[in-house]
A and B are shown apart, each in its own frame.
Chain A
């Protein structure tokens, strides 16, 4: 009873001193950290994507497309480290098939990296006519992975 009361106080105060041994935390903290890291990188990926849409619609300076496309190429290299085994369990929309079909998942990452590299080199060259199709190709790679490996399901 006392322990429960203390835990409740700790939770209420936002303390994490019991986080490793209290029953209130079913989630393995390492897993939660991995998920949070993945989602943060994905948000950065999305941020650069949105920034490029903004520039294409006339905001900012077209010269900066190269910076965003370059960041995207860099972030795509990080992608393989975002999915450690076991990180399908928790507050995530990543589907277990990521770990069940590793070859298919690697192919989706490869598609993303190729499309991001292509966009980065097109942006470097300044060839605006080629930018649109290359951007579409990158979007296609995002949708491809989300289609097969991500779903917003009800949490049990």
Chain B
């Protein structure tokens, strides 16, 4: 025998629950997204974090420092910079920050106390990261283990140690236009451009700088024989003789995946770090998007050579 009353009670309960659920959804949509973060969001944030290569700069690998504990040294012609601790430690890290503090740092290069960051923190590229990606990145950063490690102050040569001068620098060199996809281009091209310009900040190294360290966009991606750290950075425009215009898609794929060059050498130093932290972790779709965008970069003739010392000869003694 069927208990009619019980069955309709069950139905009523289901209807009530469904209605509540719909109400809750409507409420959440109305109020904006829920405050709690999901594991998915953190996972998405980790991918943004990887492509953006934050780990390399904020971990002092040479001294086997803790993950994101900071203290990595950058010796430049402006003096020595040390990266700060970006773990959620409340005292030595950024544990007291809210998401708006984080977004302001990444978008505007301004600290919660209102001072300007040096562009050695590449917010000049990161300011093009989308809101959604910044939120996910923040969710991920809050999930990493806190590390108690006090920041080391930079040791810069005057006038570069005057932070207030950065505001003038920004007026000249900081292009704050947000990333806007170009409608007439393919989705892959736009995605590739977003990864290259905003996340993986290829321009920060491959575009030469003016004497005050601003990017010289007229020479976009054309390399330099001496960056502020004294490193030789090759021309990666599509120029056939001085850039990578003769490379095949397969050559670029090998570089992004393993760091291998068409002449059988492997990249070293900072580019190898970019491969380790960023390009080797790209999904196949993102990798082909990057390849598509790279293949359409405007060719610029700029031969890059490692300056040889006067006495070096190619022959055996």
Q: Which residues of A contact B (CB under 8 A)?
A: 14, 16, 19, 24-27, 29, 32-33, 36, 43, 46-47, 49-50, 53, 57, 90-91, 93, 95, 97, 136, 139-140, 142-143, 146-156
Contacts and interface: CB of A to CB of B under 8 A. Distances in A.
Contacts of A33: 316-317
Interface centre among A24, A25, A139 (most CB of B within 10 A): A139
B264 interface: yes
A19 B264 contact: no
A46 B263 contact: yes
A91 B231 contact: no
A32 B272 CA distance: 26
B24 interface: no
B309 A147 contact: no
Contact of A150 (B225, B269, B308): B269
A71 to B, nearest CB: 13
B311 A27 contact: yes
Given A19-B317, A147-B273, A154 B232 contact: yes
Given A139-B258, A139-B259, A152 B264 contact: no
Interface of B: 61-62, 225-226, 230-232, 250, 254, 258-260, 263-270, 272-273, 275-276, 306-309, 311-312, 315-317
Nearest to A151: B269
B309 A150 contact: no
Given A139-B258, A151-B231, A146 B317 contact: no
Contacts of B273: 147
A36 B254 CA distance: 27
A54 B38 CA distance: 45
A43 B317 CA distance: 19
A136 B258 contact: yes
A155 B268 contact: no
A29 B264 CA distance: 28
A154 B231 contact: yes
Nearest to B64: A104
Contacts of B268: 93, 146-147, 149-152
Contacts of B231: 151-154
A16 B311 CA distance: 13
Contacts of B312: 27, 32, 90-91
Interface centre among A24, A29, A90, A152 (most CB of B within 10 A): A152
Given A29-B317, A140-B258, A142-B266, A147 B308 contact: no
Given A27-B311, A33-B316, A36-B316, A152 B306 contact: yes
Contacts of A146: 259, 266-269, 272
23 contacts: A26-B311, A36-B316, A43-B264, A49-B264, A53-B260, A93-B306, A95-B269, A97-B62, A139-B260, A143-B259, A143-B260, A146-B267, A146-B268, A148-B61, A151-B269, A152-B232, A152-B268, A152-B269, A152-B306, A153-B231, A153-B232, A154-B232, A155-B308
Given A139-B260, A148-B61, 20 more contacts: A26-B311, A27-B311, A36-B316, A43-B264, A53-B254, A57-B250, A90-B309, A139-B259, A143-B259, A143-B266, A146-B259, A147-B269, A147-B275, A147-B276, A149-B268, A151-B268, A152-B269, A154-B226, A154-B230, A155-B307
Contacts of B226: 154
A49 to B, nearest CB: 5
A28 B274 CA distance: 35
Contacts of A46: 263-266
Contact of B264 (A36, A47, A97, A148): A47
B266 to A, nearest CB: 4
